[in-house]
Structures are given as C-alpha cells and as structure tokens.
Chain A
Amino acid sequence: DAGITQSPRHKVTETGTPVTLRCHQTENHRYMYWYRQDPGHGLRLIHYSYGVKDTDKGEVSDGYSVSRSKTEDFLLTLESATSSQTSVYFCAISESGGSYYGYTFGSGTRLTVV
C-alpha cells in the first residue's frame, strides 16, 4: 500500500459548519500537500507543508487553514463551509524537494456542502 490515507472518504455537511479533513502518512515524507479537484480545473493546490509546523498557502487557499503538528498528519480545516467548497480533496506526499517520482496521492475525500 502507498502509506497515505485520507479520512473521511465521503462527507456531507451544512453551510456554515466547520469541517476538518485528515491526511495520515506512514512514509515519513517531509512534504505534504492538499489539493482540490473540480471539473475543468484539474487539481489546484490549497496549502502545503514542508515540515512540522511549517506550512504555506497555495493557489486557492481562501477559506482554508491547515495544521501539521506531527510529521505523519496534515489536517485541512474549512472554518465555515460554503457551497463553493463542494469538491474532491486530495492529499499528496513527496519525499524530497526535487523528486523525479512526483507525488503519492491519497484516495481523496468527496465533500458536499449543502
């Protein structure tokens, strides 16, 4: 197995509620990423982490926050979910800063905000 898991796999939530998605890795990789996938847009970077407590914004970070208190866990939080945040969310990991091998992806979380 790839050593990266996302939870939950599916979630339906109401507008205005907070939501936290979890990414857990067993590979001890330094870099972790959160992407969202929307039709026509491919995958777009939300936030990333380059170490414990080291995070930065990606292309579409508004309305999202992240935390990484341990190497293995990277949490994505929607403070107050909106319908525009209905999407499929992917976590990815990478071992080094110049990896020819690209990323290893989790299985994704389908989030529906009603």
Chain B
Amino acid sequence: AQTVTQSQPEMSVQEAETVTLSCTYDTSESNYYLFWYKQPPSRQMILVIRQEAYKQQNATENRFSVNFQKAAKSFSLKISDSQLGDTAMYFCAFMKPYHNNAGNMLTFGGGTRLMVKP
C-alpha cells in the first residue's frame, strides 16, 4: 500500500514571499501521478498542480511549482509571491492508475495548514 507523509502540520509565510510545503511518499510502483490539492475555508477541494512520475520535468502552474525527486520519493510544492488567498489546507496525494477495480485510487497525506500573513 502507498503512504503519503506531510511532515509540516502548519506553516506561515508573509505575503509576497515564497514558501515550500514538503511531501514524501512510499511506493514500489514506477508509474504513478502526484497531486497537490488546496482546501480553503469553503471546504472545496481544488486541484493545484499535478505531476506524472515518468516526466522528469517539474510541473509549474503560474505561481505554483513542484520539486519532484523520484529517487528520493519527494514531491514538494513551492508557492511564489504568496497571496492572502493562498491561505488554506494543502494536501499531497498519490495516484496509482488502474488500481484493480478502484480505477485511479488516490491516497492523501495528512495535510499542511498554510497561513499567509499580511
């Protein structure tokens, strides 16, 4: 079974600064996907960024980028130019495609609560 670990339960950052959220995972699979989801106080789960394991190039989405280290099984999220609207819970998630009948099973880390301070 896959496990996902987020070692930082809470973090804070000043507005306009850069912050990095850590995520490690354990798997014996070679083909998989990794995701970061954002959950603002509204409780909605919002996909932030995704990475395919067979792609060496790190994914980027505007101010969000990842540092994917496959050998180290590490998948950190960097938020540049932090904004007040980035305040949320962030979840790292691992997906093994075609996991038996479950389709694409998502396994989540415990989350990191990020506070952006003005």
Chain A interfacial positions (CB closer than 8 Å to B): 30-31, 33, 35, 40-45, 48, 50, 54, 56, 88, 90, 92, 94, 96-103, 105, 107-108, 110
Contacts and interface: CB of A to CB of B under 8 A. Distances in A.
Nearest to A108: B43
Given A40-B9, A42-B109, A105-B44, A97 B91 contact: no
A96 B98 CA distance: 9
A30 B9 contact: no
A88 B43 contact: yes
Interface residues of B, number: 29
Interface of B: 4, 6, 9, 33, 35, 37, 42-45, 47, 50, 52, 91, 93, 95, 97-98, 101-111
Nearest to A100: B33
A39 to B, nearest CB: 8
B103 A31 contact: yes
Contacts of B104: 31, 94, 96-99, 102-103
B4 to A, nearest CB: 8
B50 A98 contact: no
Contact of B95 (A40, A45, A90, A102): A102
Contacts of B4: 42
Given A31-B103, A102-B95, A42 B43 contact: no
B110 A42 contact: yes
Contacts of A48: 102-103, 105
Contacts of A88: 43
Contacts of A108: 43-44
Given A100-B33, A102-B50, A105-B45, A50 B106 contact: no
B20 to A, nearest CB: 19
Given A42-B110, A43-B108, A100-B52, A50 B101 contact: yes
